[in-house]
């Protein structure tokens, strides 16, 4: 009963997925975002981008990662050939939000995006949807936020930021 909850697509998760993710989530937090794809029935790292690679000079907390996120979305768009393919991605979202009694506080949250655009083939969407639990389980979903997005509007910076502030504003 518990078992059918998980991926049954037979897609494996490459060990690099977990070790690259650790470089984003722990220690020096080397990476800002990572894009994963399914290749030859295996989830692999497609690209891992550092703060330097992004080349952003401004403070991430001030603009709530807007500049970095725009670059991430542009990269994702280019890699999926204008949203005609699916991807998984994790993004280290740095933002400022005001909390009752605590004033403005700087926050740092990792978001997991499952991108399944309408333009992608049905087969691809099926494979990505059925393998999502496998990659999420191996990343350890306890501390990350998950979003499923299917078009550019859902991936807008404002949309995500409002979801995050909604979640963290009052606790």
What residues line the site for another protein (CB under 8 A)? 2-3, 6-7, 12-13, 15, 18-19, 22, 26, 133-135, 137-142
> What does residue 144 show for φ and ψ, rounded to 5 degrees?
-115, 155
Concatenated DSSP letters of 78-146:
HHTTTT-S-EEEEEEEEEEEEETTTEEEEEEEEEEEEE--TTS-HHHHHHHHHHHHHHHHHH-GGG-EE
Nearest distance from C-beta of residue 131 to another protein, angstroms = 9
Q: Based on CB atoms, which residue is closest to another protein, 12 or 127?
A: 12
Nearest distance from C-beta of residue 135 to another protein, angstroms = 7
Nearest distance from C-beta of residue 128 to another protein, angstroms = 15
Q: Based on CB atoms, which residue is closest to another protein, 27 or 101?
A: 27
Q: Based on CB atoms, which residue is closest to another protein, 49 or 139?
A: 139
User: Which CA distances in Å does 38 have to 43, 93, 107?
Assistant: 4, 24, 31
Q: Based on CB atoms, which residue is closest to another protein, 8 or 105?
A: 8
| Token pair in block for residue 40 | 């030859």
Nearest distance from C-beta of residue 93 to another protein, angstroms = 20
Answer for the pair 95, 161: CB distance below 8 angstroms, yes or no: yes
């Amino acid at each position: 009963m518990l078992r059918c909850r998980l991926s049954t697509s037979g897609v494996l998760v490459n060990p690099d997925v977990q070790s690259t993710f650790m470089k984003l989530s722990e220690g020096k937090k080397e990476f800002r975002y990572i894009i994963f794809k399914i290749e030859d029935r295996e989830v692999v790292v497609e690209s891992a981008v550092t703060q330097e690679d992004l080349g952003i000079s401004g403070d991430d907390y001030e603009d709530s990662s807007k500049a970095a996120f725009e670059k991430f979305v542009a990269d994702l768009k280019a890699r999926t050939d204008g949203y005609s393919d699916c991807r998984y991605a994790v993004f280290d979202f740095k933002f400022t939000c005001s909390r009752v009694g605590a004033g403005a506080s700087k926050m740092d949250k990792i978001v997991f995006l499952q991108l399944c655009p309408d333009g992608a083939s049905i087969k691809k969407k099926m494979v990505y949807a059925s393998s999502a639990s496998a990659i999420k389980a191996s990343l350890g979903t306890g501390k990350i936020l998950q979003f499923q997005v299917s078009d550019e509007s859902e991936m807008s910076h404002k949309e995500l930021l409002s979801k995050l502030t909604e979640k963290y504003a009052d606790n």
